[in-house]
Amino acid sequence: MSGLDLSTEVLVIGGGMAAAWAAIAAAQQGASVTLVDKGFVGTSGVTATAGPGHWWVPPDPKQRQATIEKRYPSSYGLAEKAWMERVIDVTWRTLPQLAPYYAFGKDGDGNTYYPGVRGPEYLRALRAYALDSGVRVLDHHPALELLLHQDGSVAGAAGYARLDRRAWTIRAGAVILATGGCAFRSGLIGSHTNTGDGHLMAAEAGAELSGMEFSSIYTLSPAWCSTRTLPYTASRFFDAAGEELDIPPALADRDHHRALAKAMLEGPVFADLSEAPPALRPILHRIQPATVAPFQRKGVRLFDERFEVKLFGEGTIRGTGGLRIVDEDCQTTVRGLFAAGDTATRELIVGASSGGGSPNSAWALTSGQIAGIAGARLAKADGVRAGERATPAGRAGLRPAGAIAPVDERAAIQTVRDEMLSYDKALWRRRETLQASLVRLDDAWNDVATHRQAEGLDQVAARETAALVASARWSTRAALDRNETRGLHARADAPDLSPDGGKRLLVGGLDEVWTRPEADKPQTAVEVAA
């Protein structure tokens, strides 16, 4: 079967919340839009298995200002209040557009309740909205690499259709990366395909990342299955002998997780939800549909029996880092390449701390809208330039630097898991352990980048492995070079804030990973290209 060659003004890569909102926004600007996803748009990613809430603040200037001022200190100086205000405003104005496709619930006063949605239905609604907006959706069409013009600007992307078993190439005037974050194959529900693909593709094109050190965050779930959605605010915790453990409240993310991790390193930990609010029991199956089923399958009475729990790594999904945003259009340091959702850094609104559910969901919606509108505008102005030569940028797993040889990809992925998910390494970072981790990760990268060359469908797995290793290296190098404790990034050997640490830390590079503090005035994508 011959390859698929297409042209579109805006190409969106990804299949979750941010990708759908980006595609919808670009199509509403009159652009031709193609959306490609590794899986099936409407079921892909972590949102489809969750019950996301959105940052939802009425358009009262005093109320919004108070919300921003309350949130800003937790950013540790790395967020921007103007971006926070923008995300709140765009979310408020945009989310109700989904009403024809999604049955929003009611609040206690009988008014439509917009901010809290049910993930599976939300993603199905976004798919329907995108299709009705004229978006061409290509399911099971994972992107493998970006295409670049001779001037370094993005020219489109290439990939492989999983079901049709054929290569595809799509030329585009603008590309929006919304491939999600990277959970380092932790087993977090919905995250198996969140391997940092967009980060790798963008870095190969010359893009920079930011905030990758803020990646050590976990979700508490039953030990046998990640649910990601169960509220543990009223939980008590016990060891195997039945002794109650002294665990800080769940709202104190880092201290809560560190206390649980310390206990788990010593033995199994059990949760007891018998004191959960009575009102939660009859509605949990409705507001968090992915939570109840694992307990039912195992025969565990959720609110009446103690059950073993485990921490599942969220990486940059509920962490902060991602592709660096250099302007108000969510553009990266590569002209014509935009980033949205978990693929982009969220430091602009949450700084060094996790956005949890609501700021993160609002960011996915807003960054998708912004990137979609800006991408359509750029594509309309510059055109697709389909007649120009385009060079594929992909390397590791596709075009090895050395002699082709077998590579143990399972071992490479296990190295990533060992170095990024181990409680003692992630939650109690130290210079010596970070340096040792970086050596192991560098070796894994050299093996994949030097020797691995995949063909056909095997390219998808090879690129996932390369992206996992690359993302782990960027995170580890950034954690090593931020010699302080700030937000999610905790250094046991540097437990205090550094007076010089109030700048974002940029990271990039492939064979040689580098870091540097962000300048006071970021360059724009146009300035970088020049």
Among 468, 506, 400, smallest CA distance to 197 is for 468
Q: Which tens digit of pLDDT belongs to each residue from 1-48?
A: 678 999 999 999 999 999 999 999 999 999 999 999 999 999 988 888
Q: Which tens digit of pLDDT belongs to each residue from 371-420?
A: 999 999 999 999 998 889 999 999 999 999 999 999 999 999 999 999 99
| Confidence band for 523, pLDDT divided at 50, 70 and 90 | very low
**CATH match of 4-214+316-392 with 3.50.50.60:** yes
Q: Which tens digit of pLDDT belongs to each residue from 453-473?
A: 999 999 999 999 999 999 999
How far apart CA 213 and CA 319 sit, in angstroms, is: 9
How far apart CA 23 and CA 266 sit, in angstroms, is: 48
Whether the domain at 4-214+316-392 and the domain at 218-313 fall into the same CATH topology:
no
Residue type for 7, please?
Answer: S
Among 458, 462, 359, 449, smallest CA distance to 404 is for 449
Choices 1.10.10.60, 1.10.1370.30, 1.20.58.100, 1.25.40.10: CATH for 409-498? 1.20.58.100
CATH number of the domain located at residue range(s) 218-313 in this protein: 3.90.700
How far apart CA 483 and CA 23 sit, in angstroms, is: 40
Q: How far is residue 263 CA from its own chain's centroid?
A: 28
Predicted model pTM: 0.95
Contacts of 478 (CB under 8 A, 6+ apart): 211, 212, 213, 321, 505, 507, 515
Mean pLDDT, residues 336-354 = 97
Q: Which tens digit of pLDDT belongs to each residue from 488-506?
A: 999 999 999 999 889 999 9
Structure-model confidence comparison of residues 3 and 134, the more confident one = 134
User: How many Cβ atoms sit within 10 Å of the Cβ of residue 468?
Assistant: 30
Tokens of 331: 């553009």
DSSP 300-317: --TTTS-EEEEEEE-TTT
The domains of the chain are located at 4-214+316-392, 218-313, 409-498
How far apart CA 304 and CA 300 sit, in angstroms, is: 8
